[in-house]
Amino acid sequence: MQHKQTEQRFANDLNIVSLISVGKHPQSGRERRAEQDGRAVELGMSLNAENLTVLHAGDPQQNALRSYAGMGLNSIRVLEMDPAADAIAPLSSYLKQHSPDIVLAGVRAESGESSGMVPYQLAEQLGWPLVSRIADIISVEGGVAEILQALPRGQRRALKVRLPFVASVDNAAQEARQSAFGPASRAALDLQSTQSTTDVIRDEWSEAPARKRPKRLKKVKATTAAERFKAATAKAQSDGGKVMKNEPAAEQAQAIFDLLLEEGVLR
Amino acid sequence: MSDIIRRDPRTEWIARNRLHPLHGTVSVSDEVEVRGPSGLLRKNPHKVGFIGPNGIKRIDRLKGNAAASGKGRKGGAAAEVQLPLHQVENPDFYIVVVPDMVGGRLTGHDKDMIGQAHKLINGLQSSSDEKGAVLAVCFGESKEEGFDTAGVDRLLLLNGDEYQGYCPEQQLAALVQVENTYQPKHWLFPDSVNGGADLGSRLAARINERPAVQAWLVDNSTTLSRGAGGTTDITRGTPRLLMLAEECAEPIDETRHEALDIELEHIPTVIAQLQDQGQVAVDPNAIPLGEAEFILSAGNGIHNWDQFHATATALGATEGASRVAVDDGFMPRFRQVGATGTWVTARVYLAVGISGAIQHMQGIGQCDKIIAINTDAGCDMVKGAALSTIGDSEEILAELNKLAENFRQQQADGSDQDAA
């Protein structure tokens, strides 16, 4: 596994930016390396470790940034701003200025609003295509990237897209490597100050710890006692399913096969 | 004529006199309840009830509801009740929903979302006398027949060539055209991995709306949505664009809607920057059983295990097993489906030689289509299945294997021709 990263899958001139945010542990609520952002950094490192810029917009004092650096990064670039402010403007002006080939981000942040809009808004402002939920980048040849997109139910779709593009990295991508303390403390934080506007709309919202959602109950609309009794006790009745009893096996198999085709599960 | 029913002494006398030539016209009637000559309602006890299957007279005291309770006479009274039709003639405003349509049908999540749309419309209508309608925008082929009972007032079905496959940019162009034409009050998307969240985010970025994601308690003024990866609740004003969590509202079940087809003109054709290269073959057995789409499951009725594995490979199905098959050592424990094993969510579940113990049926409760191959026509699996074939599993699997291999052969030939 380790030599795979060192051998470098692609040419050195590929410019990649991985966006990182401060994660939050789902149980303890502690700050940590965000799961999907870690995968975005991992994917960036496996593509081109030399020319990878790991970019964060927010508070440079966050300890969680060090856990990204511990993956073996020399430096992390931080656009200094109030963590509650809107990160889109500084990020897009940075990306316009540096014009990388690939921008990688997680699907949704683990803190704040966690709306997952950052990659979409960046793509809109830059006018680049957006690829959602990627699992891997297979190759980049002649300015065209071949991408594996993660679909629900463990499926994958192959896509081709011209550079530059923005991509959000799914949980199906390669897991982030372990973070080591030594490299984490040695890595440099490359600070840039930015102009940020406070998020006025968000100030009007109120936040509270998540309430448990009520479980949906099965509603029984019965008009007679017999129906209510049946709803409470009866087993599921056959609801008009087709039964093939005396047909030859070939015909039965054909019926099954037709249903599978109709449902589109045969690929 | 007055409504007062008057006694007729002559008719009463004829009714009492069984020897009178007119007696038959007065008292004998096929109806159970007759208005007697004195003006009272008379019941003929000889006409009440019916002769049951064993020749004994039965009186139906459930007033015809016996058929609905699953016993007694079949058909007839069991014919389904037409729900009242909800019509919106000229809607003053629209709420647009964009369902996922997984496999061409509305999912439970989609139906919840349409229920939420009607809740919002009712709220808006209570404050003004404008009429609103739910407009559903569906992409690709549709197999859904229940748009009317799901609550769709207007339906925009876009299934041209440009909407085949993965085409988020073309879909986005169509949605922007809908936005320009109808100026909907709200946009609702399911916040799901099936494409709803992706499309909703694209539209939000394009029309510059700030969406509420994972919204789970929505009314006309405030929205409660999950933030910070599901660990906080954010209370905010209801935005125009909402991405709704599952079970956000009750689906429509008491009314029927028009589901009128509408056309949308001048949708620009976009040059796609994302080129769909099709789905990639994935090893079906590498997919976790809980999220597999198509499961071929084996039970006690399987004797030829090599054939079973071969069929699973040919069909491209994930393998599952019942408890018996696992206990007997034919399948590993992590393949077990049911209460003790994995609760599966497959779209198609093909059960071979499984009779359907209650623990197994619990495990497959979430599956859409169940297909059973079994020797016993009376088993529980056959009762719950959409298609069941009664016969020897080995023969049927052999035929199925043949069909699948032919299909794969044709696929390979087709792709060769494409390449040539």
pLDDT tens for each residue of A66-85: 999 999 999 999 999 988 88
How big is the A-B interface in CB pairs under 8 Å? Answer: 248
pLDDT value for B326 = 93
Give the pLDDT band (50/70/90) at residue B80.
low
Q: How far apart are CA A156 and CA B348, in angstroms?
A: 19
- Distance (Å) from the C-alpha of residue A121 to the closest C-alpha of chain B? 5
Is residue A251, in this structure, part of any structural domain at all?
no
Task: Phi first, then psi: give them for residue B22, nearest 5 degrees.
Answer: -95, 5
For chain B, where do the domains classified as CATH 3.40.50.620 start and end?
Answer: 85-261
**Mean residue pLDDT across chain A:** 87
Q: Could you read off the pLDDT of B247-299 as tens digits, one per residue?
A: 999 999 889 999 899 988 888 888 888 888 888 888 888 888 888 889 999 99
**Residue B210 and residue A201: Cβ atoms within 8 Å?**
yes
Chain B CB contacts of A213 under 8 Å are 216, 247
Q: Could you read off the pLDDT of B309-325 as tens digits, one per residue?
A: 999 999 999 999 999 99
Whether residue B45 is preceded by a cis peptide bond, meaning omega within 30 degrees of 0, is: no
How many domains does chain A contain in total?
1
Give the pLDDT band (50/70/90) at residue B29.
low
- Distance (Å) from the C-alpha of residue A40 to the closest C-alpha of chain B? 17
Chain B CB contacts of A141 under 8 Å are none
Contact with chain B for residue A129, Cβ under 8 A: yes
Chain A CB contacts of B278 under 8 Å are 157-158
ipTM (interface pTM): 0.87
**Residue B387 and residue A244: Cβ atoms within 8 Å?**
yes
Chain B CB contacts of A153 under 8 Å are 287, 291-293
pLDDT value for B172 = 93
User: SS3 of B362, please?
Assistant: helix
The whole-number average pLDDT for the span B64-88 is 61
The whole-number average pLDDT for the span B326-353 is 91
Residues 6 or more apart from A134 whose CB is under 8 A from it?
A: A43, A147, A148, A149, A150, A167, A168, A169, A170, A173
The whole-number average pLDDT for the span A195-207 is 85
Asked if pLDDT for residue B155 goes beyond 90, the answer is yes
Asked if pLDDT for residue A131 goes beyond 90, the answer is yes
User: SS3 of A138, please?
Assistant: strand
pLDDT value for B27 = 63
pLDDT value for B1 = 56
**Token pair of B232, please?**
């906080």
Give the pLDDT band (50/70/90) at residue B73.
very low
Q: Could you read off the pLDDT of B30-45 as tens digits, one per residue?
A: 677 777 777 788 787 8
∠ CA B288-B293-B299 to the nearest 5 degrees? 75
For chain B, where do the domains classified as CATH 3.40.50.1220 start and end?
Answer: 286-415
Q: Which residue of B83, B403, B407, B409 is the best one to mutate when testing the A interface, meaning the one whose CB has the most A CBs within 10 A? A: B403
The whole-number average pLDDT for the span B138-143 is 89
∠ CA A146-A148-A150 to the nearest 5 degrees? 155
Give the pLDDT band (50/70/90) at residue A240.
low
- Distance (Å) from the C-alpha of residue B238 to the closest C-alpha of chain A? 11
Superfamily of domain B85-261: HUPs (3.40.50.620)
**Residue A230 and residue B388: Cβ atoms within 8 Å?**
no
Asked if pLDDT for residue A265 goes beyond 80, the answer is yes
**Residue B69 and residue A255: Cβ atoms within 8 Å?**
no
**Token pair of B160, please?**
């041209």
Q: Tell me which residues of chain A, numbers 197 to 236, contact chain B at a CB-CB cutoff of 8 Å.
A: 201, 204-211, 213, 216, 219, 223-224, 226-227, 229-230, 234-236
Residues 6 or more apart from A104 whose CB is under 8 A from it?
A: A16, A17, A18, A19, A40, A41, A43, A44, A167, A168, A169
Chain A CB contacts of B216 under 8 Å are 213
Asked if pLDDT for residue A7 goes beyond 70, the answer is no
Contact of A110 with A23, CB cutoff 8 Å: yes
- Distance (Å) from the C-alpha of residue B329 to the closest C-alpha of chain A? 27
Give Cα separations from A143 to A100, A139, A164, B57 (angstroms). Answer: 12, 10, 8, 85
Contact with chain A for residue B384, Cβ under 8 A: yes
Q: Which domain holds residue A71?
A: 2-203
Which of A2-6, A66-70, A166-170, A215-219 is the least confident region?
A2-6
Chain A CB contacts of B275 under 8 Å are 159-161
Q: Could you read off the pLDDT of A170-191 as tens digits, one per residue?
A: 998 999 999 999 999 999 999 9
The CATH number for A119's domain is 3.40.50.620
Is residue A180, in this structure, part of any structural domain at all?
yes
The whole-number average pLDDT for the span B86-114 is 91
Instruction: Categorise residue B314: left if φ over 0, alpha if ψ from -120 to 50, beta otherwise.
Output: alpha
pLDDT value for B75 = 42
Q: How far apart are CA B77 and CA B87, in angstroms?
A: 27
The CATH class, in words, for B286-415 is alpha beta
Q: How far apart are CA A29 and CA A121, in angstroms?
A: 27
**Residue B193 and residue A133: Cβ atoms within 8 Å?**
yes
CA dihedral of B203, B206, B210, B213, whole degrees rounded to 10 = 30
pLDDT value for B64 = 64
Please measure the distance between the N-terminal and C-terminal CA atoms of chain A and give it in whole angstroms: 32
Environment class of A13 (CB within 10 Å of its CB; exposed 0-12, middle 13-18, buried 19+): exposed
**Residue B273 and residue A161: Cβ atoms within 8 Å?**
yes
**Mean residue pLDDT across chain B:** 87
Task: Phi first, then psi: give them for residue A243, nearest 5 degrees.
Answer: -115, 125
Task: Phi first, then psi: give them for residue A155, nearest 5 degrees.
Answer: -85, 160
Asked if pLDDT for residue A48 goes beyond 50, the answer is yes
Q: Tell me which residues of chain A, numbers 241 to 260, contact chain B at a CB-CB cutoff of 8 Å.
A: 241-245, 247, 249-250, 252-257, 259-260
User: SS3 of B391, please?
Assistant: coil
Q: How many CA atoms lie within 13 A of A66 on its CB side?
A: 11
Task: Phi first, then psi: give them for residue A136, nearest 5 degrees.
Answer: -165, 155
The whole-number average pLDDT for the span B389-411 is 91
The whole-number average pLDDT for the span A144-166 is 90
Q: How far apart are CA B206 and CA A167, in angstroms?
A: 17
**Residue A26 and residue B287: Cβ atoms within 8 Å?**
no
Q: Tell me which residues of chain B, numbers 243 to 282, contact chain A at a CB-CB cutoff of 8 Å.
A: 247, 250, 273-282
**Residue A110 and residue B228: Cβ atoms within 8 Å?**
yes
More confident call, A48 vs A109: A109
Chain B CB contacts of A31 under 8 Å are none
Is residue A130, in this structure, part of any structural domain at all?
yes
Asked if pLDDT for residue B67 goes beyond 90, the answer is no
Q: How far apart are CA A219 and CA B144, in angstroms?
A: 24
Bridge partners of residue B372, in order along the sequence: B351, B388
**Residue B377 and residue A250: Cβ atoms within 8 Å?**
no
Give the pLDDT band (50/70/90) at residue B66.
low
Bridge partners of residue A165, in order along the sequence: A102
Contact of B355 with B334, CB cutoff 8 Å: no
Contact of A262 with A254, CB cutoff 8 Å: no
Which of A205-209, A232-236, B320-324 is the least confident region?
A232-236
